[in-house]
């Protein structure tokens, strides 16, 4: 094949890149090669030679830039513009139908709604950012809020386009998907590692995650990762500005309204991803009913075993984006999507002994100590037995052979017993009647499966309460960790959360491995935590069912601890997002005398139990106090998250939709329908510069 070249090096390079990009797309995405390997190699060499002669013409999206020349020294942490939410799991069709019932109760008039069923790929989630069609960043999922910038490694994945395959691409688009290691690549890598005397990878998922974090992108390229895209976020005005599929955060609450020129359903989004040049898993289907989802799930329970990659379930997403936005998110997951998992791998092993663990709430959890066994790529030596009733159901004897699996593929659990293999000398396990930590009598509250220690002075409960109180989302006390808490409680230095605020450096110095400087740092961190706001304090109290988000809602509605403590269950449950179970738990917590005493002691110590509703006398007035703002489009220098934070720090409130009550609409590039609505309603329009001027006042 001869190449028709341009009239100069710039034109020649551009033409070669286009030919190579089209050939790569056909080979790695469409699985339909258009060029023989030797022709591709020759064109690639021509491009290399031209770029070597004209290095100023090299661009990040050139096919020659897929593999970096120098290994990275480290990865940089990147905060996701929009969180990567995890999915709620269903482990059988009954749990799937229960999920369907939950979302239908939130939208009763909808009835049956179409959903898209997609195979759940067992790999590592990535967030890819393209600016003006060129890949500029690839970030790992991390904890969902912050990931690692692994752009150079992402570029080695041939099924990820360096440049989007469309003319006039949007100024910015973010694509989410799963990087995975095909089974043939996994086997080849482990063969190489075995020959080299290196430890083998346990499974393709671990191998993919480890590969993505390689500092040398050349190693990543050799391992031949693949990628399936499953969702995207487009700037406002391109028709897909609202969250598409697994995106959440601000976008889910009105980051933009989808127009007529872009995807309005998950199925359309998958098609659009293919148009952009991404590989989308072909094993997906629109399911008009729950029965169709069940058929898809059951059909792939066996078919998946013949696939060239690992899959552990089916992801089901409601197809209509408008319905997705209406249902929104819980604290951890979207309400409009669920992972319908296939049964986990199960293996037999022997119970050697049973121990019980006492948690922060006094819950007593029995744990089986097992003969170590390989399960889902890890060595398992302990498995949860859940509770007293579960042990009775299993008729568990020490020495029994049991079947173990990983619940949610994370926590090992005993699922059934094999009494026919029981040794003659096996002894029935007696569930304890007294707490192993404090010796108090254990109780099983009516209607609960959990057995509890109700002694608030129990060392296990105190340890759990202290660690929770000092955790990042609660009082965020730097330095409080498991080892110090165990010493404080075991030696009687601290008997409750309130005792923390009586600690002095002199009190701590006698402890093992405690120096004067460290003691002073701990005391300072504890004293500083008194300034944490009421919402964090409420979460730190550890009331059952009250997470950090629920604590924020309650603190906004009940600005003082006295107001919350006096509230009846119905009043608490009237707060949007707070259900009857949470309301009853909060109500009962404040009825316990020991808890009332704890609050009183913490108030005396100076902990904040009221919202700071008024500025300090010498504080500068907040320029946006009482104002409601809406953000639309892409701002020149501020991210959506940064702009929102600045507005809230200045006393303003950011909402997702424009109304007559909106004070200002802050407009950036590619603004969409919100701008038109603001103009129609006569709402004041601000640029980023206008906003910054207001904030500076």
CA distance 204 to 122: 8
- Give pLDDT, residue 396: 94
Give the phi and the psi of residue 29 in degrees, each rounded to 5: -105, -50
pLDDT higher than 70, residue 568: yes
Three-class secondary structure assignment of 294-329: HHHHHHHHHHHHHCCCCEEEEEEEECEHHHHHHHCE
pLDDT at 42: 63
Q: The tokens of 297 are what?
A: 């799930």
pLDDT at 66: 60
Query: Per-residue pLDDT averaged across 394-412, rounded?
Result: 82
Cα separation, 275 vs 232, in Å, equals 12
Q: Which of 310, 308, 363, 407 is nearest to 89 (CA)?
A: 407
Average confidence (pLDDT) over 596-607: 93
Instruction: Point out which residues pair with 84 in neighbouring strands.
Output: 247
The residue with tokens 């948690």 is 359
Burial of 525 (0-12, 13-18, 19+ CB in 10 A): middle
Tokens of 553: 């809602």
* Residue 54 in this model has a pLDDT that exceeds 60: yes
Give the strand pairing for 172-180 and 134-140: unpaired
Q: Quick count: other Cβ atoms within 10 Å of Cβ 91? A: 16
Cα torsion at 8, 14, 19, 20 (round to 10°)? 120
Are the beta carbons of 227 and 126 closer than 8 angstroms?
yes
Q: Which of 90-94, 127-131, 187-191, 201-205 has the lowest mean pLDDT?
A: 201-205
Q: How far apart are the first and last CA of the chain?
A: 67
- HSE value, Cβ hemisphere, 13 Å, CA-based, for 435: 25
* Average per-residue pLDDT for the chain: 83
Asked if 213 contacts 148 with a C-beta cutoff of 8 angstroms, the reply is: yes
Nearest to 209 by CA among 156, 160, 159, 140: 140
Chain centroid to Cα 334, Å, comes to 11
Q: Which helix (H) or strand (E) holds 77?
A: strand 76-79
Picking from 293, 253, 286, the residue whose alpha carbon sits closest to that of residue 269 is: 286
| Distance, C-alpha 96 to centroid of its chain | 21
Query: Does the model's pTM come out above 0.75?
Result: no
Residue 410's pLDDT band (boundaries 50, 70, 90)?
low
Q: Is the pLDDT reported for residue 687 higher than 80?
A: yes
Pairing of strands 628-632, 664-667: parallel
What was the pLDDT predicted at 47? 75
Measured at the CA of 254, the angle between CA 251 and CA 256, to 5 degrees, comes to 80
91: its two tokens: 């482990």
Confidence of residue 244 (pLDDT cuts 50, 70, 90): very low
Q: What is the set of active-site residues?
A: 120
Q: How confident is the model at residue 317 (pLDDT cuts 50, 70, 90)?
A: very high
**Strand runs labelled E in 541-651:** 628-632
How far, in Å, CA of 497 to CA of 602, rounded?
8
Q: Which residues contact 572 (CB under 8 A, 6 or more apart)?
A: 554, 558, 564, 578, 582, 583, 586, 587
**DSSP H or E segment with residue 353:** strand 346-358
Pairwise CA distance, residues 362 & 284, whole Å: 45
Report, as an integer, the average pLDDT of 666-688: 83
Q: List strand residue ranges (DSSP E) for 113-209, in order.
A: 115-121, 124-131, 134-140, 146-149, 172-180
Output DSSP code: residue 385. Answer: -
Q: What are the residues facing 628 on neighbouring strands?
A: 653
pLDDT in the model for residue 245: 37
What is the C-alpha to C-alpha distance for residues 476 and 529, in angstroms, rounded to an integer? 7
Segment 408-429 mean pLDDT: 85
CB atoms within 10 A of CB 689: 11
* pLDDT(618) > 70: no
Residue 249 has pLDDT above 50, yes or no: no
How distant, in Å, are the alpha carbons of 318, 562, 666, 669 from that of 635?
31, 43, 9, 6
């Amino acid at each position: 094949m001869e190449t028709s070249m341009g009239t100069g090096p710039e034109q020649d390079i551009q033409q070669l890149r286009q030919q190579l990009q089209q050939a790569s797309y056909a080979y790695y995405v469409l699985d339909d090669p258009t060029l023989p390997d030797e022709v591709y190699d020759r064109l690639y060499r021509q491009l290399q030679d031209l770029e070597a002669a004209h290095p100023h013409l090299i661009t990040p999206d050139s096919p020659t830039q897929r593999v970096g020349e120098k290994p990275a020294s480290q990865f940089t942490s990147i905060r996701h513009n929009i969180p990567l939410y995890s999915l709620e799991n269903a482990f059988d069709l009954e749990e799937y139908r229960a999920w369907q019932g939950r979302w239908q109760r939130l939208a009763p008039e909808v009835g049956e709604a179409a959903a898209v069923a997609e195979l759940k790929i067992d790999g590592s989630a990535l967030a890819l950012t393209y600016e003006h069609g060129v890949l500029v960043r690839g970030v790992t999922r991390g904890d969902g809020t912050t990931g690692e910038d692994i752009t150079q490694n992402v570029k080695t994945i041939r099924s990820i386009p360096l440049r989007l395959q469309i003319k006039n691409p949007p100024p910015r688009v973010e694509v989410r998907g799963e990087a995975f290691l095909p089974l043939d690549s996994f086997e080849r890598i482990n063969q190489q590692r075995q020959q080299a005397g290196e430890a083998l990878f346990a499974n393709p998922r671990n191998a993919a995650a480890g590969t993505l974090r390689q500092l040398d992108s050349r190693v990543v390229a050799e391992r031949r990762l693949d990628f399936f895209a499953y969702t995207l976020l487009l700037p406002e005005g391109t028709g897909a500005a609202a969250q598409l599929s697994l995106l959440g955060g601000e976008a889910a609450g009105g980051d933009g309204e989808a127009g007529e020129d872009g995807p309005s359903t998950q199925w359309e989004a998958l098609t659009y991803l293919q148009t952009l040049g991404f590989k989308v898993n072909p094993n997906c289907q629109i399911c008009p009913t729950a029965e169709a989802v069940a058929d898809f799930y059951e059909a792939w329970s066996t078919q998946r075993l013949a696939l060239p990659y690992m899959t552990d379930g089916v992801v089901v997403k409601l197809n209509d984006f408008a319905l997705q936005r209406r249902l929104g998110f819980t604290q951890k997951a979207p309400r409009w999507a669920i992972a319908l998992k296939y049964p986990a791998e199960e293996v037999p092993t022997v119970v050697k002994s049973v121990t019980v663990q006492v948690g922060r709430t006094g819950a007593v959890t029995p744990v089986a100590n097992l003969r170590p066994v390989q399960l889902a790529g890890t060595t398992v030596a302990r498995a949860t037995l859940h509770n007293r009733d579960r042990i009775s159901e299993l008729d568990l004897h020490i020495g029994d052979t049991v079947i173990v699996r990983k619940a949610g593929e994370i926590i090992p659990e005993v699922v059934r017993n094999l009494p026919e293999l029981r040794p003659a000398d096996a002894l029935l396990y007696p569930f304890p009647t007294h707490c192993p930590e404090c010796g108090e009598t254990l109780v099983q509250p009516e209607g609960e499966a959990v057995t509890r220690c109700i002694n608030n002075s129990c060392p296990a409960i105190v340890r759990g309460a202290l660690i929770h109180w000092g955790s990042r989302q609660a009082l965020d006390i730097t330095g409080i960790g498991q080892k110090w808490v165990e010493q404080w409680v075991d030696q009687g230095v601290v008997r409750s959360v309130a005792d923390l605020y009586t600690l002095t450096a002199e009190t701590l110095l006698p402890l093992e491995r405690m120096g004067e400087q460290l003691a002073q740092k701990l005391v300072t961190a504890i004293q500083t935590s008194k300034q944490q706001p009421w919402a964090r304090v409420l979460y730190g109290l550890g009331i059952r069912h009250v997470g950090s988000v629920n604590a924020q809602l309650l603190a906004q509605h009940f600005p003082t601890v006295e107001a919350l403590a006096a509230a009846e269950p119905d009043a608490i449950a009237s707060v949007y997002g707070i259900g009857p179970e949470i309301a009853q738990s909060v109500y009962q917590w404040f009825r316990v005398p020991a808890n009332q005493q704890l609050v009183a002691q913490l108030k005396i110590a100076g902990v904040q139990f009221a919202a700071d509703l008024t500025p300090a006398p010498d504080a500068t007035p907040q320029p946006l106090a009482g104002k409601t703002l809406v953000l639309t489009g892409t701002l020149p220098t501020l991210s959506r998250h940064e702009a929102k934070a600045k507005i809230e720090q200045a006393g303003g409130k950011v909402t997702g939709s424009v109304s007559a009550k909106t004070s200002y609409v802050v407009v950036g590039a590619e603004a969409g329908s919100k701008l038109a609505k603001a103009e129609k309603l006569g709402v004041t329009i601000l640029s980023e510069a206008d906003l910054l001027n207001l904030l500076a006042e």
